[in-house]
Amino acid sequence: MITYKQYYIQRLEHGHSRWVARITRTDGQNIRTILPASEHRYLDTRPTPSAEEAERLAKEGIDFGGVV
Digit-by-digit pLDDT tens for the chain (68 residues) are 999 999 999 999 988 889 999 999 999 999 998 878 899 999 999 999 999 999 999 999 999 877 76
Q: What are the backbone angles phi and psi of residue 21, rounded to the nearest 5°?
A: -115, 130
- Distance CA(29)–CA(18), nearest Å, equals 28
pLDDT at residue 15, as a whole number? 84
Domain housing 6 = 2-64
pTM: 0.89
- Determine whether 55 is exposed, middle or buried from the number of CB atoms within 10 Å of its CB (0-12, 13-18, 19+): buried
The residues, any chain, with a CB within 8 Å of residue 21's CB and separated by 6 or more, are 9, 10, 11, 12, 44, 45, 51, 54, 55, 57, 58
Domain count, the chain: 1
pLDDT at residue 68, as a whole number? 64
pLDDT at residue 14, as a whole number? 84
